[in-house]
Structure 1
Amino acid sequence: MMLIKQFGQAPIGNRLKKLQASAHYDTKTGTFLNIHETPTLTEGYSMSQVMYNFLFKKHPRVNPSQPIPVIKTDITSLDLTQNLLIWFGHSSYYFQLNGQRFLVDPVFSGNASPIPGSNKPFKGTKIYSAQDMPVIDYLVITHDHYDHLDYPTILQLQSKVKKVICGLGVGQHFLYWGYGLQQLIELDWHQKLNLANLTELYTAPARHFSGRGFKRNNTLWLSFVLTTPSFKLYLGGDSGYDSHFKELGEKFQGFDLVLLDNGQYNPAWQAIHMLPYETLQAAHDLKTKRLMPVHNSKFKLSVHPWDEPLQTISALNAAGSQPLPLVTPTIGEIVWLDQPDQPFQHWWEQLE
């Protein structure tokens, strides 16, 4: 039963009517659309070719031979007046901003796939669990893929979550899994939510796709902007490179920190996951003061060496005409949001 329930549930009834009214929804196909045409595979690639390459060809160093270094921070004891962020590997992280607690795309079950035990995390990275989390003001979900929306984790977190913020249609999964309607805030692109203490949350596009079963794009994928009177944060979710980065950079006149997709990429699916040089360009488009590259260092979802994302973006950034401070914490290390000069180690260079 658990295996079946984790697939979630497609929107029905009034919830279906709500998403059908979105300007980004195509009623003919029953799917959400990206801003620009977004092919599943880059021209010149075939799905059979990609699957054969992934399943049967040998690729060097896709998994680290040593455990990933980690720090076990006691999150429940952190001072809520401090603005900070803690990364759990891949695209899962906790942050405190302006006296509020946020948890983004948590995956604590030790699997990034609907098939149990089929995509285990790298050694050393599974050190946090739902039990380690404090009460969460806002559980933020960028989209419903298994490496971002983890059924066992969501069940374990329910009693600690005040509100869930997600894209249109994604709330149906939460209702199916036992969450209450009063816990859910489902949003379209380009919407604004006023939070406490003069904190504002904006939804924005991403160039990606969605789906937990055979049906794709029946729920909406998002990126997020959070602003306070003194700080601007962009949470990019999964995204291929597109015009929305530059548009957001102009609209919000730059950011203090952006978290962008940089890992599990492949030229074969470049439209939906940025290559490192595109991540760097997106950061410049967003006019950010600091860049944190995520979607790496925990799960093998592509065929590149496990440390290539961080190695490549670091080298490209250093060689550029306007290098950005890169935020590259070890898993569990505290990132102080109000300390723009905080140094970080190239921890991946210590491993094989």
Structure 2
Amino acid sequence: MGVVLLGLVAIAGIAAVVFLNRPQFGRLPRGERKERIERSPNFRDGEFRNRQATVMMTSKGEWWRTVWKFLFREDAAGVRPTKPMEVTRTDLKALDANQELLVWFGHSSYLVQTAGRRILVDPVFCRAAPVSFVNRPFAATDAYAPEDMPRIDYLVITHDHWDHLDYETVVRLRERVGRVVCPLGVGEHFEYWGFEPKRIVELDWDEEAMTEEGFRVVCLPTRHFSGRGLRRNRTLWASFLIDSPTQRIYIGGDGGYDDRFADIGRRFPGITLAMLENGQYNEAWRYIHTMPEYLGRAARELGAERIVTVHHSKYALARHAWDEPLEHARRLAERDSLPVVMPGIGEVVRLGN
């Protein structure tokens, strides 16, 4: 009996190693990239750190309880819509590349066109988890595929969590992407997946790059974490500011509220469009995702001309009602008179010049 048990344990161990070594999990930084990471002021004691002391989970054992709920418990009532979502099917390839516009695909995936360039942010069109039965999209929200995307000038990735960096999506887009813009360390995944290093613009917080004449990308902090496997925070998480000849766009990424919004608003006045996280929040992880009571404050401190909230309407990663973030966004617009735009999935939003 003991021999059989040991054999089963060995088989399970081998299966786990094989599973965790699938290409979908990416690869930890190595070589010159690892050396660059170790020189970063944001990397200490073997991992990246938030600038403010940040507790991942506010109660002991909450992390593993959360994982258990995702894997083995049914969704709580109201966290998923009871009928298919309304989605607009836009022919993205037919859009005039010179028009200033935004198309949101649900959760944190969206396409921005500005000054004749197409920017695709955190596209997840295939799978938002390492296994198919976790993080299932709401009915009808998986209406877009990588092949529906036009040629992309800049693929922007805010961090390497599965609901922001989808292996199958980016591999299927690989030949139609000009450059990848990502935080420090995330470029290792892209090289492992066949992207040429010269096409990767990889930045630490407060670093910037002129990607071409008239286009500047600034990597900015956020308050979150990273990781695709068992080891966390070996790659950086970030927000980005993109200066084009016609728009100043803030890509907020994921993260709990802190003083970065006021700082960014002061450093970069005149933001024309800000994409802010609104959804998948919970009191247990209030420091790493934006709680509803801080959303309006973040928006006011940025001072953007137009705000679109994301990180909702496609997956149930938290226990709140699926449409609760939409109500928060609506209140910001109607009660607080903030310039919030609420596009439907696939709807074209004109940005103007």
Report the TM-score when normalising by structure 1. Answer: 0.90
Pair 324,87 (structure 1): closer, same or farther in 2 beyond 3 Å: same
In the alignment, which residue of structure 2 is the partner of 1:124?
140
Matching residue's letter, 1:155: V
Pair 49,81 (structure 1): closer, same or farther in 2 beyond 3 Å: closer
CA distance, structure 2, for counterparts of residue 303 and residue 158 of structure 1: 35
SS in 2 for 1:285: helix
RMSD over equivalenced CA pairs, Å: 1.9
Matching residue's letter, 1:89: G
Q: Give the one of 283, 286, 296 matched to 1:270.
A: 286
Check whether the contact 1:240–1:274 (CA below 8 A) recurs between aligned residues: yes
In the alignment, which residue of structure 1 is the partner of 2:276?
260
Pair 57,267 (structure 1): closer, same or farther in 2 beyond 3 Å: farther
Q: Give the one of 106, 115, 131 matched to 2:123.
A: 106
Check whether the contact 2:332–2:338 (CA below 8 A) recurs between aligned residues: no
Check whether the contact 1:98–1:197 (CA below 8 A) recurs between aligned residues: no
Distance apart, 1:318 and its partner CA: 2.8
Q: Give the one of 214, 218, 235 matched to 1:198.
A: 214
Matching residue's letter, 1:149: L
Matching residue's letter, 1:63: R
Pair 77,34 (structure 1): closer, same or farther in 2 beyond 3 Å: same
Report the TM-score when normalising by structure 2. Answer: 0.90
CA distance, structure 1, for counterparts of residue 325 and residue 86 of structure 2: 17
Distance apart, 1:47 and its partner CA: 3.5
Pair 169,51 (structure 1): closer, same or farther in 2 beyond 3 Å: closer
Matched, 1:307 2:307: no
CA distance, structure 2, for counterparts of residue 246 and residue 39 of structure 1: 22
Matched, 1:186 2:199: no
Q: Deviations over 1:58-99 (max 9, x none)?
A: 622111011111111111111111111110100001111111
CA distance, structure 2, for counterparts of residue 194 and residue 143 of structure 1: 21
SS in 1 for 2:212: coil
In the alignment, which residue of structure 1 is the partner of 2:298?
282
CA distance, structure 2, for counterparts of residue 79 and residue 129 of structure 1: 20
Aligned-residue identity in percent: 44
CA distance, structure 1, for counterparts of residue 299 and residue 191 of structure 2: 35
Pair 338,173 (structure 1): closer, same or farther in 2 beyond 3 Å: same
SS in 2 for 1:277: helix
CA distance, structure 2, for counterparts of residue 123 and residue 290 of structure 1: 29
Distance apart, 1:194 and its partner CA: 1.6
Matching residue's letter, 1:314: R
Q: Give the one of 232, 254, 265 matched to 1:238.
A: 254
Pair 187,292 (structure 1): closer, same or farther in 2 beyond 3 Å: same
Q: Deviations over 1:193-215 (max 9, x none)?
A: 22335122111001100000111
Structure 2: 5+ residue runs without aligned partners? 1-17
In the alignment, which residue of structure 2 is the partner of 1:170?
186
Matching residue's letter, 1:302: A
In the alignment, which residue of structure 1 is the partner of 2:6?
none
Matched, 1:64 2:81: yes
In the alignment, which residue of structure 2 is the partner of 1:345?
none
Check whether the contact 1:8–1:177 (CA below 8 A) recurs between aligned residues: yes
Structure with the largest fraction of helix: 2
Check whether the contact 1:238–1:273 (CA below 8 A) recurs between aligned residues: yes
Pair 120,51 (structure 1): closer, same or farther in 2 beyond 3 Å: closer
Q: Give the one of 305, 329, 341 matched to 2:343.
A: 329
| Higher mean displacement: 124-133 or 195-204 | 195-204
CA distance, structure 2, for counterparts of residue 317 and residue 52 of structure 1: 36
CA distance, structure 2, for counterparts of residue 46 and residue 122 of structure 1: 25
CA distance, structure 1, for counterparts of residue 138 and residue 146 of structure 2: 19
CA distance, structure 1, for counterparts of residue 93 and residue 318 of structure 2: 34
SS in 2 for 1:258: strand
Pair 245,289 (structure 1): closer, same or farther in 2 beyond 3 Å: same
Q: Give the one of 14, 17, 28 matched to 1:10.
A: 28
In the alignment, which residue of structure 2 is the partner of 1:348?
none
| Higher mean displacement: 149-158 or 51-60 | 51-60
SS in 2 for 1:182: helix
CA distance, structure 1, for counterparts of residue 47 and residue 75 of structure 2: 36
Q: Between Structure 1 and Structure 2, how many residues are aligned? A: 334
Structure 1: 5+ residue runs without aligned partners? 340-352
SS in 2 for 1:6: helix
In the alignment, which residue of structure 2 is the partner of 1:84?
101
Distance apart, 1:42 and its partner CA: 2.2
Check whether the contact 1:45–1:268 (CA below 8 A) recurs between aligned residues: no
Q: Give the one of 15, 32, 37 matched to 1:19.
A: 37
Check whether the contact 1:280–1:317 (CA below 8 A) recurs between aligned residues: no
Matching residue's letter, 1:257: L
SS in 2 for 1:215: coil
In the alignment, which residue of structure 1 is the partner of 2:173?
157
CA distance, structure 2, for counterparts of residue 225 and residue 136 of structure 1: 18
Q: Deviations over 1:208-229 (max 9, x none)?
A: 0000011100001110111234
Distance apart, 1:50 and its partner CA: 4.5
Runs of 4+ in structure 1 deviating by more than 6 angstroms, as ranges, are none
In the alignment, which residue of structure 1 is the partner of 2:229?
213
From the CA coordinates, give the structure whose radius of gyration is larger. Answer: 2
| Higher mean displacement: 277-286 or 193-202 | 193-202
Pair 163,2 (structure 1): closer, same or farther in 2 beyond 3 Å: farther
Q: Give the one of 114, 120, 125 matched to 1:97.
A: 114
Check whether the contact 1:63–1:300 (CA below 8 A) recurs between aligned residues: yes
CA distance, structure 2, for counterparts of residue 176 and residue 149 of structure 1: 14
